[in-house]
Amino acid sequence: MKIKISAILFVSFASFLFLTNCTSEVATPNICFKEDILPLFVSNCTQSGCHNGIDKEEDLDLSNYEGIMKSIKANHPYQSESWTQINSGEMPPSPYHKFTKYEKNQIKHWIKSGAPNSSNCRTCDSTFTYKARIEPILNKWCVGCHSASDAGGGYDLSSYDKTILAIPYSKLEGSILHSAGFSAMPKNAGSLSDCDITAIKNWLAAGHPNN
Ligand code: HEC
């Protein structure tokens, strides 16, 4: 009996260790290229004069999957030039936003999992509260080019108070819908997902609450 109990304890402890280890290894499960990784490159690396389709600084266009993969070695973050530059803090240069630890980890895990060109990995979150849904979209996709230190077109999208200044004359909506007469956003990098566009449209239609 004694042996049985210690065996059970041992097995439970071992599975606990195994599970904890797994969880920390897969720090950010469900990483999706289009929704999680692409916006980090677009918003932080493709400003005018940098790694976009026109300027191609260092011969790199980081506004799409093919371009990004020229600086990535699938499964090997430490042999992937763009990740090592981001990880060391060398890129992006000042005054641009530096990647957070969480963002660096997301890119690292995506590379380690083979750097797939994945999209729509999660079910669409149709909620549209500012804090939980709208702000994260803007932070991921837009703030790299629309902050206090680098306000593209004069628009700073890094806080609620500043973001609402982009709403009059349908600027915000027109730009993300790529409507005629507006600059298409995110600049030089395709469109937000339908799910993100719907969330922003619903938030605007509800009177853009600060919730
Ligand atoms: C790579 C940099 C970059 C990214 C990423 C970017 N913008 Fe812009 N944005 C600019 C620049 C630069 C302008 C000034 C107009 C131009 O050059 O097209 C601008 C202009 C705008 C305008 C004014 C549009 C108009 O027609 O007057 C809005 C609104 C806007 N951006 C919103 C956004 C939103 C929302 C996102 C994220 C979904 C975003 N931007 C992502 C660089 C960027």
pLDDT digits (tens, 9 = 90+) for 23-48: 333 445 679 999 999 999 999 999 99
Radius of gyration of the chain from its Cα atoms, rounded to whole angstroms: 20
143 CA from centroid of ligand 1 (Å): 10
Q: Is 87 in the pocket of ligand 1 (CB under 6 A)?
A: no
For residues 119, 125, 128, 129, the Cα torsion angle rounded to the nearest 10 degrees is -110
Quote the CA–CA distance of 40 and 46 in Å, as a whole number: 10
Q: Is the CB of 55 under 6 A from ligand 1?
A: no
pLDDT value for 73: 98
Are 31 and 37 spatial neighbours (Cβ–Cβ below 8 Å)? yes
Instruction: Name the band, by pLDDT with cuts 50, 70 and 90, for residue 150.
Output: confident
Virtual CA dihedral for 35, 38, 42, 45, nearest 10 degrees?
A: 140
Alpha-carbon gap, residue 80 to 151, rounded angstroms: 30
Q: Which atom of ligand 1 is nearest to the CA of 141?
A: 37
Q: What is the pLDDT of residues 165-206, one digit of tens each?
A: 999 999 999 999 999 999 999 998 889 999 999 999 999 999
Q: For residue range 153-174, what is the model confidence (pLDDT) as tens digits?
A: 999 999 999 999 999 999 999 9
Pocket test for ligand 1, best of 141, 146, 200 (most atoms within 8 A of CB): 146
Contact (Cβ atoms closer than 8 angstroms) between residue 37 and residue 74: no
Among 162, 185, 196, name the best residue to mutate to test ligand 1's pocket (greatest count of ligand atoms within 8 A of Cβ). 185
Judged by phi (left if over 0) then psi (alpha if -120 to 50, else beta), residue 125 lies in beta
- CA pair distance 53, 176, nearest whole angstrom: 19
Residue 2 has pLDDT above 80, yes or no: no
Q: What is the pLDDT of residue 98?
A: 86
Task: Pick 144 or 3 by higher pLDDT.
Answer: 144
Contact 45, 62 (CB under 8 A): yes
Ligand 1 pocket member 50 (CB < 6 A): no
Share of the chain above pLDDT 70, in %: 86
Highest-confidence segment of 1-10, 110-119, 141-150: 110-119
Q: Whose CA is nearest to atom 10 of ligand 1?
A: 152
* Mean pLDDT within 60-67: 96
CB 96 within 8 A of CB 29: no
Q: Which of 63, 130, 183 to mutate to test ligand 1, by most ligand atoms within 8 A of the CB atom?
A: 183
The mean pLDDT value for 106-127 works out to: 93
Instruction: Read off the pLDDT of each residue in 103-110 and give the average, rounded to a whole number.
Output: 96
**pLDDT above 90 as % of the chain:** 77
pLDDT of amino acid 22: 35
Who's near 79: CB < 8 A, 6+ residues apart?
73
Neighbours of 67 (CB within 10 A): 19
Dihedral sign computed on CA atoms, order 196, 199, 204, 208: negative
State whether the beta carbon of 110 lies less than 6 angstroms from ligand 1.
no
Indicate the top mutation candidate among 142, 147, 200 to test ligand 1's pocket, ranked by most ligand atoms within 8 A of CB.
Answer: 142
Q: Is the CB of 203 under 6 A from ligand 1?
A: no
Q: Is the CB of 96 under 6 A from ligand 1?
A: no
